[in-house]
Structure 1
Amino acid sequence: MTTLFLMVGLPGAGKTTRARQLATEHRALRLTPDDWMIPLFGQAEADGKRDVLEGRMLWLALEAVKLSTNVVLDYGCWSQAERSAIRWLVEAEGACFRMVYLPVDDATQRARIAHRWATAPEETLPMSEGDILHGRAHFQEPDAAELEGHGAAAPPPGWAGWREWAADRWPSFA
């Protein structure tokens, strides 16, 4: 069955390394926003362009699963709502959804970020202490039910469905 693997975790957790392995093992299309943000804009956020890029990548991922192509979506997906939306969208296309959560402790995260910056600055984005703290404060760790694949939660109040929510979250998805 065609599968979309969603990488979940904080910067420095090893998501991209694992995403590369999964792409090779499963002959999957790997979509990693950082691979595009740096060449296109030279920075991680670039005035909201990351959300636009992620929306098009999500659209492309769904097109690929429709064509029976496995996909590794290397976003990080800090919120349960993002993960639930992607799970719902993938399953609505009849594909299998697999979340790959890579937890990372504070010391390991900092060491990996520093090492990546020191050894491959052209392939990574700088992260300040504030960026690291912001990520840790805003990351919603997946709970047991989410990790066990019990389906997508209901859309947040006020949303007719996950497709509408996703189009708002990632403006270029619609």
Structure 2
Amino acid sequence: MAQPTLFFLCGKMAAGKSTLSRELATRHDAVLLVQDDWLEKLFPGEILSIPDFVRCSTRLRDALAPHVRALLSRGLPVVLDFPANTRSQRAWFRELFEQADVAHELHFIDAPDDLCKRQLRQRSQGLPEGAPWTTEAEFDAITAYFQPPDDDEGFVVIRHSRP
């Protein structure tokens, strides 16, 4: 049986966090929870701005936290495909693994802006006509909040450098 571990990810938009989260879930036979899937189902058409995202994602985290802790406490590894892109976001993950008294891994995808923007454009090409997608201006606005993990935060960081 897999060791109970909380896996979570840090990286700019379109850096490859969702792809890595699926790989981690498969490799560790872990429960995978994807924030974007939950937000799309629970708040359809409601997230139109950064404040909307913050409001809805906070409600989702508050609702899921006891369930994530319960899964971990029962010995199941969990991969959270939720952003850990700021110190305040990472504080939530710390609460989860500390309260469940389990190991953790913060997977940091270190990718330059130009690579992320290129991947963002490629991802948007496959969307149906009229589907919402993130523009480069929105990428820049969101990335302005990005804070890579720092040693003083005390996380077990697994770094994935992308050229």
TM-score tier by shorter-chain length is 0.7 to 0.9
Q: Is residue 143 of structure 2 the alignment partner of residue 144 of structure 1?
A: no
* Mapped partners of 1:39, 1:85: distance in 2: 22
Contact 1:43 1:125 in 2 (8 A): no
**Structure 2 CA distance for partners of 1:70 and 1:119, relative to 1, 3 Å:** same
Identify the residue that residue 59 of structure 1 maps to in structure 2: 66
Identify the residue that residue 35 of structure 1 maps to in structure 2: 37
Contact 1:34 1:44 in 2 (8 A): no
Coordinate RMSD, CA, aligned: 2.5
* Mapped partners of 2:69, 2:152: distance in 1: 24
Give the deviation of 1:66 after TM superposition: 1.2
**Structure 2 CA distance for partners of 1:110 and 1:98, relative to 1, 3 Å:** same
- Map Cα deviations across residues 38-90 of structure 1 (whole Å, 9 max, x no partner): 23434573642222123223332112101111100111122113213422431
Aligned 1:60-75 pairs, distance under 5 A: 60-75=67-82
**Structure 2 CA distance for partners of 1:76 and 1:97, relative to 1, 3 Å:** same
Identify the residue that residue 109 of structure 2 maps to in structure 1: 102
Contact 1:91 1:97 in 2 (8 A): no
Match of 2:118 among 111, 118, 135: 111
TM norm structure 2: 0.78
Identify the residue that residue 160 of structure 2 maps to in structure 1: none
**Structure 2 CA distance for partners of 1:94 and 1:31, relative to 1, 3 Å:** same
* Mapped partners of 2:102, 2:16: distance in 1: 25
Q: Is residue 94 of structure 2 the alignment partner of residue 87 of structure 1?
A: yes
Match of 2:136 among 129, 140, 154: 129
TM norm structure 1: 0.74
**Structure 2 CA distance for partners of 1:44 and 1:116, relative to 1, 3 Å:** farther
* Mapped partners of 2:113, 2:24: distance in 1: 25
Structure 1 segments of 4+ aligned residues over 6 angstroms from their partners = none
Q: Which amino acid aligns with 1:6?
A: F
Q: Which amino acid aligns with 1:39?
A: K
**Structure 2 CA distance for partners of 1:136 and 1:68, relative to 1, 3 Å:** same
Contact 1:31 1:57 in 2 (8 A): no
Aligned length: 149
* Mapped partners of 1:72, 1:138: distance in 2: 23
